[in-house]
Amino acid sequence: MSNVWCSRKNVNKTWLKHAVNRRLSDIYTQQWSAEVLSNGQCTNYRIIKKSLLFEGYLTKLDPVESINLCKYRCGSHRLPIVTGRYHGIERENRFCTICNDQRLGDEFHYLFECPNFAAERKRLLNPYFINRPNTLKMEQLFNSVKPKELVDLSRLCHIIMSKF
């Protein structure tokens, strides 16, 4: 855009406005992406949120259900992965406090692995997500456009968070 400032020719004001807005948006998106990638607390968020876009679940779901999903997605809960940080526990030692599997007590574990939530998981999640769970399936689940799937996910997240 340096040519705009160096040129003595008339510049289309509409083009200039759109060009500046586009440039500012690109800069902000790059900064957001860099912050998310460099922040150790955003591991779960990195899996779920790939681009800086409005999340449809915020308008598709009841406010209570939206809040449950938002809290779970953003790490605004009391799972061991978060509370361990407050107590100075190294990330790899923030184990599940419910089961005896010595697994990391993170969002993925409680949604897909912890045996204490097996019944709720089976009742609320599609078998596709339960069988051989992985981070790609987690991303698909949280980015679903199906309202029932999102409502059920929100309910499971609420059940998990209520245990902590």
Task: Tell me the pLDDT tens digit for each residue of 26-65.
Answer: 888 888 778 877 776 777 777 888 788 888 889 999 999 9
Note the pLDDT tens digit of each residue in 73-125. 989 999 999 999 999 999 999 999 999 889 999 999 999 999 999 999 999 99
With tokens 């456009």, the residue in question is: 145
**Residue 129: pLDDT band by 50, 70, 90 thresholds?**
very high
What average pLDDT score do residues 131-154 get?
96
The reported pLDDT for the residue numbered 16 is 81
User: Residue 98's pLDDT is what?
Assistant: 94
Please give the biggest Cα pair distance in the chain: 72
Q: What is the pLDDT of residue 8?
A: 63
Q: For residue 62, what are the CA distances in angstroms to 70, 89, 122?
A: 12, 36, 23
Residue 79 CA to its chain's centroid (Å): 15
25-28, long-range: CB within 8 Å, 24+ apart, which pairs? 28/52
Q: Say which residues have a Cβ less than 8 Å from residue 42's Cβ, sequence separation at least 6.
A: 36, 75
8 A C-beta contact, residue 90 and residue 104:
no
Band (pLDDT 50/70/90 cuts) for residue 150 is very high
Q: Which residue has the tokens 């598709």?
A: 60
> What pLDDT was estimated at residue 22?
87
The answer to whether residues 125 and 141 touch, using CB atoms and an 8 Å cutoff, is: yes
**How would residue 2 be classed by pLDDT, with cut points 50, 70 and 90?**
low
Closest CA to 85 of 76, 49, 24: 76
Strands (E), the chain: none
pLDDT number for residue 1: 66
72-77: list long-range contacts, CB under 8 Å, 24+ apart.
Answer: 72/107, 72/157, 72/160, 72/161, 73/44, 73/45, 73/48, 73/49, 73/142, 74/45, 75/41, 75/42, 75/44, 75/45, 75/107, 77/161, 77/164
Residue 33's pLDDT is 78
